[in-house]
Amino acid sequence: MTDAALFAGVFPPGAAAGPFGRRQRRARGARVPVILVTGFLGAGKTTLVKALLESEAGRATAVVVNEFGEIGIDQALLAPSAEGKVALLGNGCLCCAVRSDLEDAFRTLFTDRARGAVPHFDRVVLELSGADDPMPVLQTFLGERALAREYHIQAIVAVADSATGRLALRDNPEAARQIALADRIVLSKSDLASAEEVAALTIAIRAINPDAPLREARHGQVDPDFLLADSILPPPSALQADAPGHAAGLSTFVLDFDAPLPWRALTAALGLLCEMRGADLLRVKGLVAVEGCRGPVVIHAVRHLLHRPVELEAWPDPAAARSRLVFITSGGLGRAAVAALFRAVAGLAPP
């Protein structure tokens, strides 16, 4: 668990800094935002990504895909780079096909950008193949020694096919997991499905992910801002978690806290969870008021990894300045047990 910064006790931190370094305007700090697009095979991810690239808001986007062929960008392809790994697209975008090492691809993208070897990009859209489990990818971006310093997972967007999504969810644990982990969900091809099919899929999705904002795509398109928004938390008013919320062995629930937490208590509880039940801790995300901090602290954990905390300058919505942690778990790890753990640890904290 990260504690206060290394230099503490040597140099005064400066007026702009808190216990976790300089307070940031937003969770990504100065890092490059990454939007992870998941969804089962044929769900319409590629159409969605293409539409984003062609929009004004999608300018200067780098896309990382498994294979060029999959995204079908041939007609938009302007010039492959010397290494043949990166394709420059119209609209100031570029596309990078990854065959094996995702980490290596992202590192190369970053260094090529610094060198001016590829056009400057403002964000990366990573399109996972349909059968990919997003968990290892998330872990890759959270490990401090890997990509966490330069990249920030801004959002996981799951795409579900309105007509076939329900079957995919029923038959494929990966599909359910993609939905569970998503920060935002797009229902694709709703113009090709009946209203009943869309309604049934929505119910199935809500059983797994009760709160993520959900949008229907029309002809493969949604408002680019829906994909690019930088909040990982659903608006509090929408929070319905703790409702039944069980499907495919997955749970989503929320803990909220009235008073600022002592950092030691928070890290003790999260640390213990990561250690004992890390395998079932698919994702923890939230904003928490921490004692001694001016702004909320961004918490993001995946399995055994807790990302270095980031203190924000202010709550995104001062009217909703309340600590909330969203847990996405598997293996029957439920709210009651986690809440009890937090209570017990808080009780152990020195007065």
Partner 1 sequence: MTITRAESKPAAIWNFRLIGHHELNGFGGMGEGLSMQMAKDGRRILWAAHESAPKNFTAIDVSDPRNPKVVVQTDLPHQNMRSNSLETSGDIMAVAYQTKQVDMQPAGFELFDISKPEAPRSIGFFDASGPYSRGVHQLWFCDGEFVHMAAGARDFQPHDMKDDQFYRIVDVRNPSKPEEVGRWWMPGQRVGDNAPKIQRHPQPIRDSGFRAHNTNVYPQKPDRCYLGYLDGGMFILDISDKSLPRVVSNWDNSPPYHGFTHTILPLFGRDLFVVTDESTVDNAADWPKLIWILDGRDETNPVPIATCPMPPVADFKDRGGRFGAHNLHENVPVPGCWQSENIILGTFFNGGLRAFDITDPYRPQEVGHFVPEAPRNSSLGAIQINDVFVDDRGVVFCVDRKIGGLYILEMDF
Q: Judged by CB, which is closer to partner 1: 113, or 184?
A: 113
Q: Kindly state the smallest distance separating residue 113's Cβ from partner 1, in Å.
A: 8
Neighbours of 76 (CB within 10 A): 17
Q: Which amino acid is at 92?
A: G
Whole-angstrom Cα distance, residue 319 to residue 344? 29
Backbone φ and ψ of 245, nearest 5°: 55, 25
Contact map string, positions 26 to 55, toward partner 1, x by CB under 8 A: ---xx-------------------------
CB of 12 to partner 1, least distance (A): 5
- What is the closest distance, in whole angstroms, from the C-beta atom of residue 206 to partner 1 in the complex? 36
Cβ 184 vs Cβ 157: under 8 Å: yes
Q: How far apart are CA 82 and CA 197, in angstroms?
A: 47
Shortest distance, position 97 Cβ to partner 1, whole Å: 21
Structure token pair of residue 37: 């697009």
CB atoms within 10 A of CB 92: 16
* By the rule CB under 8 A, 248 interacts with partner 1: no
Residue 87: beta bridge partners?
Answer: 80, 95
Q: SS3 of 268, please?
A: helix
Asked if 343 touches partner 1 (CB under 8 A), the answer is no
Q: Does 17 help bind partner 1 (rule: CB under 8 A)? A: yes
Residue 100 to residue 186: CA distance in whole angstroms? 27
Pick from 39, 16, 41: nearest CA to 29: 16
The interface region with partner 1, picked from 4-12, 185-193, 196-204, 277-285 by CB under 8 A, is: 4-12
Q: Which residues contact 300 (CB under 8 A, 6 or more apart)?
A: 27, 142, 153, 232, 283, 284, 285, 306, 307
146 sits near partner 1 (criterion: CB under 8 A) = no
3-state secondary structure of 62: strand
Please, which residue, 7 or 171, has the CB nearer to partner 1?
A: 7
Q: Considering the rule CB under 8 A, would residue 7 count as an interface residue with partner 1?
A: yes
As measured in angstroms, the least distance from the Cβ of 31 to partner 1 is 9
117 vs 349 by CB, closer to partner 1 = 117
Cβ nearer to partner 1, comparing 16 with 203: 16
Tell me whether residue 116 or residue 350 sits nearer to partner 1 (CB atom): 116
Stretch 69-128 residues interacting with partner 1 (CB under 8 A): 113-117, 119-120, 122
Q: Does 22 bind partner 1 (CB under 8 A)?
A: yes
Residue ranges in contact with partner 1 by CB under 8 A: 5-7, 10-17, 21-22, 25, 29-30, 113-117, 119-120, 122, 149
